[in-house]
Amino acid sequence: MVVARPRIKDVARHAGVSEKTVSNVINDYVHVSDRTRRAVREAIDHLGYRVNLAGRHLRTGRSGVIALVVPELDVPYFAELARHVIRAAEQCSLTVLVHQSGGDRGHELAALSGFGSDFVDGIILSPLALTSDDLRERAGAPPTVLLGELLEEGADHVAIDNEQAAREATEHLIALGRRNILVIGGRDAPGLGTAEARTRGYRAALSAAGIAYDAAALLPVAAFRMPDGADAVTRALRDGARPDALLCLNDQLALGALRALYEHGVRVPEDVAVMGFDDVEGGRYSVPTLSTVAPDKAAVATSAVHLLRHRIDEANRPPDGGDVTAAAPLSPQDRVVAHRLVLRESTEGARH
């Protein structure tokens, strides 16, 4: 027997409200009391009601779907970030389509265009291959908020202060008496990318401490994964480098570095202190546990979703202004969220 799919009128009857009220709750209309909103949400959960996205699209021109586009889903940072984005989107009655770009420019361009359809209302994108010109040439594309890489100041963007975070991490290593600090994944080049910003923070900390900068301290990597971190450290040790600290530009590189140091009989942190970035779950269980820069991932997600929701509302506002009480359009936003140092055994040693 086929069970009929619950409809809005079923939710309204169960919650004791009108169908219009149910629609207002589903569409996150602000002028609904918390008590009524809660009753409708409970009815939706009880009945298993699901929004008919095709019908909503026909009625409003909006699907209620946004896309989160990240380079790699099997990188823990992006997996953890996706969880936070989905949670924040649910609070705004939005559904999230998660797409893996592989850092490929073609895939990222397809995301910018809404994947060639009007089914996606907006995009949250963590780009690796796009250029500023790509953003400037996207007239008519869905609203987009960038994460991580800042391609141009004219685009909406949410991130931590990567330069300041790297400076603080380096200052921590210097305060421990470390002077020969290698940067795994470092990139000393002009640009607005994350690696470039973190390298600038490292250099600023060295300069403030009166430590000479050596370009050879930057160890480039092909990708920001554990094997790349291990390979970079192995090459450096075989070439005769004798660091007393490693600043790794993400936790995956740091976890790979820990393995390489162990295999070469180097003690952490007695011989070499290791600092990561991102505070992924694996670093809390490595041996030793990993000191790291912890971005507020929940704040990154919430800020990005709310900013995108505002842009979607702007894009769907009637040309004549319609609602005279509507807020004026936001200028391009560069929102900086909090970070903190989480100090564990890889720099602090085991606590007894």
Assign 153 to helix, strand or coil: coil
By the 8 A CB rule, do 221 and 232 touch? yes
Q: Are strands 339-342 and 291-295 parallel, antiparallel or unpaired?
A: antiparallel
Superfamily of domain 162-296+339-348: Response regulator (3.40.50.2300)
By the 8 A CB rule, do 40 and 15 touch? yes
Place of tokens 């090459």: 235
Residues of the chain with pLDDT > 70: what percent? 87
Where in the chain are the domains?
A: 1-13+39-60, 65-160+297-319+326-337, 162-296+339-348
pLDDT at 168 > cutoff 60? yes
Highest mean pLDDT (candidates 8-17, 190-199, 227-236): 227-236
* pLDDT (average), residues 218-228: 96
Assign 348 to helix, strand or coil: helix
pLDDT of residue 329: 63
- Give the pLDDT confidence of 64-104 residue by residue, as tens digits: 899 999 999 999 999 999 999 999 999 888 999 999 999 89
**Distance (Å, rounded) from C-alpha 156 to C-alpha 305?**
11
pLDDT of residue 155: 79
What per-residue string of b and e applies to 159-189 under the rule 16 or more CB within 10 Å gives b?
Answer: bbbbbbbbbbbbbbbbebebeebbbbbbbbe
Cβ atoms within 10 Å of 126's Cβ, excluding its own: 22
pLDDT of residue 316: 73
pLDDT at 133 > cutoff 90? no
**Distance (Å, rounded) from C-alpha 151 to C-alpha 72?**
19
Summary mean pLDDT of the chain:
88
Fold match between 65-160+297-319+326-337 and 162-296+339-348?
Answer: yes
* pLDDT (average), residues 334-344: 96
pLDDT at 16 > cutoff 70? yes
What's the topology of domain 65-160+297-319+326-337?
Answer: Rossmann fold (3.40.50)
Place of tokens 């008590």: 35
- Give the pLDDT confidence of 100-124 residue by residue, as tens digits: 999 899 998 888 888 877 778 999 9
